[in-house]
Structure formats: structure tokens, C-alpha cells
Amino acid sequence: MLKTDELSELKGQFLTSLNHEIRTPLSGILGMTDLLLETSLSDEQKDYVGATRLCAENLLEILNVTLEFSALSANHLHLEEAEFSLRETLAGLVSEFSFKAESKGVRLRHNFDRSLPATVVGDALRLRQLIWHLLGNAVKFTQRGEVEVSASAGKVGEAGVPITIAVRDTGIGIRPDQVGSIFESFRQLETGLARNYPGLGLGLAVAQKLAMLLDGSITVESEVGRGSIFSVRLPLRLPLDFAGKMDGGTVRGRVLVVDDDVISRTIVSHLLGRRALNVDCVNDGPAAIKAASGSRYDLILMDLQMPGMDGFQTARALRELAGHRDTPILAVTANCSSDYRDLCLKNGMQGFLSKPVQSSELVHTVEKFLSAAVIS
């Protein structure tokens, strides 16, 4: 009989494998539908593609929340601290949900107070996941009216600055007797076979766990038929250079994409090529080393799980090339565990993107790194 720690390790290996095997085809579906929607389609065809993308997004949501809940329950998530723009992070989330909201006739907007600092220090990924669940919940349960994301900062102190992020909706609301239980695992307002809203009922449970991990809290105000307001209060530190960094604007450059999956290469090549970026694609590590030996790239997007020479080995080999000792290398992988993030940093990579990567997130991240390279 297996011991408890052996069972836990086996479970982790299974979830890692399942995560990779599902995310890879999902990445292809989402990426290809994005590209298809940018072509000339009839209204009927747009409806079909939109429905396909919505199904894929729902499946991705279920996968994400299940893995996050498992990792949080097992205390396998570790916080990382880095400087980031809170405005850009929140605005990116609003943009990500805009299509889903607009397709329901719901207005999605944001209201960021002038008190927000230009940059803060904290775990941008975990904060983004936290607000993602609250925003997704608001859009799901709102059939008409609007959803608003607002953010403001409190008084700056020695420990940093308290940030309040509120997600307000005009949705179905929550009964007073249900408010106390909405953060429980597998809890939804509706039960039984006649539920109108899909999902596992884990989103708010994950949001609360993430808030606690970030030393913050969540409160809720709600009225049946009028909507809800979920307020998150988090302590964030300020960077040493409080003035922050200026945007680099639109930047052009050369990008090398290293991925053994032909669909992934096609999606990234088309997305970045349409932004006037020069993109070269190769399917394995040796080909990447050969390409980088003969050309100078401003950014490299690296898949981690490739046959023969994996992404870690390839990144280390690229660092040996004279022209690429400081070139930003971003991991793009279906494995999104915190262990892999740590391994990426240890192997000389500067960033991490989890498949399926939203088109807007990919373009934003690439241009951010290219802008930073120009500014420096």
C-alpha cells in the first residue's frame, strides 16, 4: 500500500500530466479561433466560431480552477515578488472578459482612482488569478446591466500601500442566508439538475484562498435581483524608485519561436507577424541554437517540453552564444506549476506564459519585453 506522501506525489504527477495534455490542444483551439475571427467571415460563421471559442474557454476555466484549488489545498503555491503595473494588470483582465460580456449584452468597464501608484511590488500572477475569478463570476451571473472593476489606494505607510479592488455587478445577487457559504468549496447558488450556470463551484473558494495567501481579505455586499460587490483588500509594497518606469510605446524587433507543436508555432507567428514583428519559427532545441548562431534575436519564446533537447537545456545552450547572453527568453508551456516557474528562472529565463495563452496577453507581454530592451 502506498504511503500518504507517495500518494500525494503520484497525484501531483497525474495532475501535471493531465494539465499538459489538455492545455496543448486547448491552446490550438483558442489560438486558431482567434486567427479565424480576424479573417473575413459571414455573420453565421462568426456565430459558429464564437460558440466554439466559448466552449473552449469554459473548459479552460474548469481546468484552471481545479488545478488551482488542488495546489492551494496542498500548499504548493509560493509567492513571488516583482515590480508590476497594477493598472495594466487589471485593464488586461477587463479586456480579456470584454468579448464574453459584450456577447451577453453586458457592459464591462473599469474605474481606476488617481491614487493608484504607477507600479507596485507583489505577486502579479496570484493577484491576477484572484481578480480573474471574481470578474468571471460577475460576468457569468449578470444577464443585463454592467460589471465594473474599480481600484483605489489607501494612505502610504512604512509597510507599503493598502489597495482595494472591487468587482461590482448588476447580476442575480445573493440571498442573505447564502452569503456566509458562497466561499465554500463546490458551492453554487443553484443545485440539482436544473442549474442555469455551468461550473464546479470552486471559483470563489479559490479566490478566498488566494486572498489569504496574499495576506488580504474579501468581503461581499449583495442584494437579490440587484447585484453584488466583492471587495478585495491587499497590502502591496512600493518599488524603491516610486516614480516607476515609462512605457516604451510600440516596438518592433525580431522574435524566435521554439516549439515542437506546429499549431502553436502557426498561431504565434501569425499573431506577432500581424503586429509588424519579424518572427522565425523552429521546432526543436538544436534548430534554435542553429538559428540563434546566425541571427540576432531581441526575444525568444521557448516551449519547455520538447523531444530530445528540452526547453531548459536549449535556454542554457543559447546563453553560451555571444549574441544571446542577455536576450530575454520567455517560457511558453502547458505546465504552469510553481516548480516550473522556479526552474525557468534558474535556467536563465526572464518570464513565463501558460498555455493556452490569450492572444492579447501574448502580444502585450512580447511588446513589454521588447520595449524594456529598447529603454535599457
Q: Enumerate the domain spans of the chain.
A: 4-73, 82-236, 254-375
The whole-number pLDDT of residue 77 equals: 63
pTM of the model: 0.55
Q: Domain 4-73: which topology?
A: Helix Hairpins (1.10.287)
Buried b (16+ CB within 10 A) or exposed e, 337-370: beebbebbeebebbbbbbbbbbbebbbebbbbbb
- Euclidean distance between CA atoms 98 and 102, whole angstroms: 6
Contact present, 82 and 237 (Cβ < 8 Å): no
Task: Please work out, in degrees rounded to the nearest 5, the angle formed at the alpha carbon of residue 126 by the alpha carbons of 96 and 148.
Answer: 40
- 3-state secondary structure (DSSP) of residue 118: coil
Helices (H), the chain: 4-37, 43-73, 86-103, 124-140, 176-179, 203-213, 262-273, 285-294, 311-319, 338-346, 359-375
Contact present, 323 and 346 (Cβ < 8 Å): no
The alpha carbon of residue 372 and the mean position of all alpha carbons in its chain are separated, in whole angstroms, by: 20
DSSP track, 277-293: -EEEEESSHHHHHHHHH
- Euclidean distance between CA atoms 327 and 319, whole angstroms: 8
- Euclidean distance between CA atoms 206 and 121, whole angstroms: 22
| CATH class for the domain made up of 82-236 | alpha beta
Take residue 19 and report the three cell numbers written for it: 494539465
Torsion of CA 112, 114, 118, 123, to 10 degrees: -40
Helices (H), 141-190: 176-179
The alpha carbon of residue 281 and the mean position of all alpha carbons in its chain are separated, in whole angstroms, by: 24
Contact present, 167 and 141 (Cβ < 8 Å): no
Q: Which residues contact 372 (CB under 8 A, 6 or more apart)?
A: 248, 328
**Which residue, 236, 251, 210, is CA-closest to 118?**
236
- Euclidean distance between CA atoms 282 and 266, whole angstroms: 11
Take residue 197 and report the three cell numbers written for it: 450556470
The whole-number pLDDT of residue 57 equals: 79
The whole-number pLDDT of residue 194 equals: 36
Contact present, 253 and 299 (Cβ < 8 Å): yes
User: Kind and range of the H or E element at 227?
Assistant: strand 227-236
- Euclidean distance between CA atoms 302 and 285, whole angstroms: 9
The whole-number pLDDT of residue 107 equals: 94
- Euclidean distance between CA atoms 92 and 25, whole angstroms: 24
- Euclidean distance between CA atoms 322 and 326, whole angstroms: 9
Contact present, 349 and 302 (Cβ < 8 Å): yes
Q: Domain 254-375: which topology?
A: Rossmann fold (3.40.50)
The whole-number pLDDT of residue 358 equals: 77
Instruction: Give the mean pLDDT per block of 10 residues along the chain (376 residues).
Output: 61 66 82 88 88 82 71 66 84 86 91 86 87 90 93 82 94 84 59 45 80 90 91 87 42 85 86 85 93 90 90 92 89 75 84 80 84 58
The whole-number pLDDT of residue 247 equals: 37
The whole-number pLDDT of residue 308 equals: 87
